[in-house]
Amino acid sequence: MSTNGFGRLQKLNSSELENILVWQGASDSDIYAQNINYEGRLGLFDGPDTGVDLSVSYHDAWNLISLPMETTGGIPADLFPGSVPGSLFLYDGSYSQASDVNSGVGYWLNFSEPAVIPFAGESILLSERNLLSGWNIVGAASEPVQISDAGDLVVPGTTYGFNGNYVAVETLEPGYAYWVRTTGPGTVDLVPAGQAKQSGKQDGLSAKDLREVLSRSFDRFVLQSELLAKATPAEFYFHGSLESLPDGTFDGAIGESPDPLRFTLPPLPPAGSFDARFGADRWLTEERSGTLYLQQDDSPLTLTLFSKSASTEADSMSYQLTFLAGVQTIGSTTLRDKDTITIPQGTDQILFDQENLPEEMPSAIELLQNVPNPFNPSTQISFRLSEASYTVLDVYSLTGQHIKTLVQQPLQQGVHSVRFDASDLASGIYLYRLQASGQVITKKMILIE
C-alpha cells in the first residue's frame, strides 16, 4: 500500500475517485488503477508510477523553468547546475525574487552556460493550477500537457513559452514554465496532451495557422537575434484589417470580433533578454504607422519586412524606419518587401510609417484610428486634410464631458499627428473629434490599465 502508484491515487479528490477501478498485480509492489469514466484523467493510472527520468535543455541566458518532479523547497543550485545564484524569480502581478523551487510553480532562472539537466524522482500528478487575474507563470508537469479550460478562463492565444523570445504554444513541455493570461481569477486543469477540454466557443486556428492567415492580410516585421539563431523569429503584424480575415479564424461565434487581449504579449522578460512589441504590449496593429519597442541582448539583431501584397517590386509598399535610443535618433532607412537590415546597437524604439510619394496628397478629410489602441498611457492621433483649414481636435468622455483640446489652429493640407497623454485619466472608452472644413468626424479609443 506504499507504492508510488497508490500514493498518486491517494492524491485524487473524492469526485475523481468515484469511477476508479483498483487491483493488485502478481507482486505486492504492483498496484494498478484505471479511471473508467472520467475523460479528463482517462488512462492516467493505467499502471504503477515509474517516476520521472528525463533530461531538459536550457540555454545560456534567461529561461522559464519548472520542476518536472515532486519537490518542495528545492535549492536552485542543486536542482539546476550552472544557474546564476540569486537569479530565481517568480511572478504574482510583479516579479519577486525566490529562494527555493517548488513543483507546479513557474520561474525565471538565468544560466551562465548552456545546460542539459537530468531529472529523476516521483512524477507530478496532472493537476489543477490556480490562476490570478491577468498574466500568470504556470509550471508544467512530468509529461507533455495542455490546459483544459472548460470555464472559459484563459484568453485564447495567450499561452506563451520562451526560447529566446516569446512563442505562442499549445503544449506545455516538462521542465519549462509558460505564461498564461486570464480574464479573472480561477482554476484550470493540466491534462495529457490531446485530451484538453476547451470552452464552449468555436475553436479558432492554431498559432501557426493563424500567422499564415495573417501574413496574407497584414504587412509584417520579422526580427531574428543572431545569438539565438535556433530561436523562433519574432513576428509583428501591421497595416491590415481583422475584419477581412476568413470566418473561423478566431475563437467565438462567426462575425464576433476577437478579444483584443489575444494580441498582447506577456510582461517583459528580465533585462538582458531580447524582447520586441508594439505599444500596449501588442504583436499586431491594424495601423500602417507606429512604434516597435525593443529590449536588446548583446547579439546583432536583424529585421526583415514582408509585404502582404507584393507580387512584383512595383507592387511592394515601402516603409520609412527611424531608429531611436531614448530621445536620440541614431539612424534611419527605407525598406521594401523582403529587405533585411541590421538594427543599430542600442536601439530601443523603431518608428515606422508607410512612405508616401510626393504627389500623394490627401484628397479628402480623414481621421485615422489612434496608434496604439488600446493604449496606456499615451497614443498618437493622426488626421489628413485635403485643404488648408482651421482645425480643432478634442477628446471627450463617453458621456460627452470635454477632456482636452489637442489642436486648435489653422493647418495646411497634408497629414498631421498629435500625441495624447492620458496618464491622469481612468481606464475606459474615450472619443476624439476632428472639426475641419465644415466637417466633423468622431472615433473611439480605449485606455487600459
Phi-psi group of 377: left, alpha or beta (phi > 0 → left; psi -120 to 50 → alpha; rest → beta): alpha
- The b/e string for 389-413 (b: 16+ C-beta within 10 A; e otherwise) is bebebbbeeeeeeebeebbeeebee
The per-residue pLDDT for range 367-423, each reduced to its tens digit, is 999 988 999 999 999 999 988 888 999 999 999 999 999 999 888 788 888 989 999
Asked whether residue 1 carries a pLDDT value surpassing 50, the answer given is no
Residue 203 has a pLDDT of 53
Tell me which of 126-135, 177-186, 206-215, 221-230 is least confident.
Answer: 221-230
φ, ψ for residue 116, nearest 5 deg: -120, 110
The per-residue pLDDT for range 273-283, each reduced to its tens digit, is 999 999 999 99
How high is the mean pLDDT of the chain?
Answer: 83
Q: How distant, in Å, are the alpha carbons of 110, 196, 201, 278 from that of 222?
A: 26, 31, 31, 13
Residue 328 has a pLDDT of 84
C-alpha cell read off for 24: 493488485
Which helix (H) or strand (E) element contains residue 6?
helix 4-10
Residue 229 has a pLDDT of 56
Residue 105 has a pLDDT of 94
Residue 154 has a pLDDT of 94
- Band of the pLDDT at 259, cuts 50, 70, 90? confident
The per-residue pLDDT for range 71-125, each reduced to its tens digit, is 888 899 999 999 999 999 999 999 999 999 999 999 999 999 999 999 999 998 7
- Band of the pLDDT at 227, cuts 50, 70, 90? low
Residue 3 has a pLDDT of 35
The per-residue pLDDT for range 23-66, each reduced to its tens digit, is 444 444 444 444 444 343 333 344 455 588 999 999 999 999 99
Angle among Cα 321, 368, 284 to the nearest 5 degrees reads 55
* Other beta carbons less than 10 A from residue 388's beta carbon: 13
Asked whether residue 11 carries a pLDDT value surpassing 70, the answer given is no
CA torsion sign for 197, 198, 201, 206 is negative
Quote the DSSP letter at residue 263.
G
- Band of the pLDDT at 327, cuts 50, 70, 90? confident
Residue % of the chain over a pLDDT of 70: 80
- Band of the pLDDT at 299, cuts 50, 70, 90? confident
Mean pLDDT of 195-221: 73
DSSP string, 39-101: GGGTTTTSS----EEEEEEE-SSEEEE--SB--SSB-HHHHSTTBPTT--EEESSSEEE-SSB
Residue 47 has a pLDDT of 46
- The b/e string for 18-57 (b: 16+ C-beta within 10 A; e otherwise) is eebeeeeeeeeeebbbebeeeebbeebbeebbeebeeebe
Residue 49 has a pLDDT of 54
φ, ψ for residue 443, nearest 5 deg: -135, 165
- Do the beta carbons of residue 136 and residue 107 sit within 8 Å? no
Mean pLDDT of 147-161: 92
pTM over 0.75: no
Residue 230 has a pLDDT of 62
Fold of 366-447: Immunoglobulin-like (2.60.40)
Place of cell 536542482: 79
Residue 315 has a pLDDT of 46
The sheet carrying 62-65 orders its strands as 62-65, 107-110, 89-91, 95-97
Delimit the domains of the chain by residue range: 4-41, 53-192, 207-354, 366-447
Residue 317 has a pLDDT of 74
Mean pLDDT of 348-354: 89
Q: How far is residue 18's CA from residue 21's CA, in Å, rounded to a whole number?
A: 9
Residue 356 has a pLDDT of 59
Quote the DSSP letter at residue 441.
E
- Do the beta carbons of residue 117 and residue 81 sit within 8 Å? yes
Residue 73 has a pLDDT of 81
